[in-house]
Amino acid sequence: MYLNTDFKRLRYRACLLGLVVLALMVTAEALVGNSSESSFCTETKECLLYDPLCMAADYEERHYNSTKWVSTEEKCRMMEIAIIKAVRRLHKYFTGTNEDGVKLDMTAPMMVRMQNKAGTFSPSVYTVSFLLPSAYQESPPTPIDPELYFTHMPDMDVYVMRFGGWMNSLAISYYSHSLKKDLDRAQASYRKLSHYVLGYDGPMKIFNRHNEICHWTPGNPRFTTWLFFHLD
């Protein structure tokens, strides 16, 4: 038992060493690239790419470079309803409802920021974001909808657990709890007030769906947002 615990601690320290080395090597450019570089981005031209740091039995640690997203928030008791409403607004932006009237190619993944709920049936604020294509990472078209804004995600290191099937509340709760247990067992530090869910597939895909639960490591700066209000 003690040898197993010591091994896990040593493995975690080795991961930290790899993190430091890689942090000195990565560039500051947005890592939005060709989906062919990812084994699970199958429906879009471009995808959020990352640098792997280390692997555990059931989760992994990654480094993401800074990226820009378009985001919206929805307060609701049910995550599924919140995502449907938010995705409708974001989809309109990508299909030309913006000040430039341009259509943007869809990307993957969709990102959902989830706060820890006070109770099972209490409402929560869900932040849903679409990754901006590489061509619009620097200067994206301004949203017309006042409920849309840009989110800048800085360089960060993330713990990730993959899961298949549909991205629903029960699955997210189960895998988020599983990832927390693994991280606590490894004595890893992570942000506990919220977590993120990444969905890589559209609603029409039935089989081989790919989703991820993410916990940010501490020490990375919090994300910042730029709000754009449409004035008549």
Domain range summary for the chain, segments of one domain joined by + = 2-227
| The pLDDT of residue 115 | 86
Cα separation, 35 vs 99, in Å, equals 28
Cα separation, 154 vs 177, in Å, equals 25
Tell me how far apart the 2 most distant CA atoms of the chain are, in Å.
67
Fold classification of 2-227 (topology level): Multidrug-efflux Transporter 1 Regulator Bmrr; Chain A (3.20.80)
- Strands 107-108 and 46-48, bridge-based pairing: parallel
| The pLDDT of residue 221 | 42
Spans of the chain below 50 pLDDT: 1-14, 16-29, 221-232
Question: 185, 91 in Cβ contact below 8 A?
Answer: no
| The pLDDT of residue 230 | 33
| The pLDDT of residue 101 | 98
pTM of the model: 0.82
| The pLDDT of residue 12 | 46
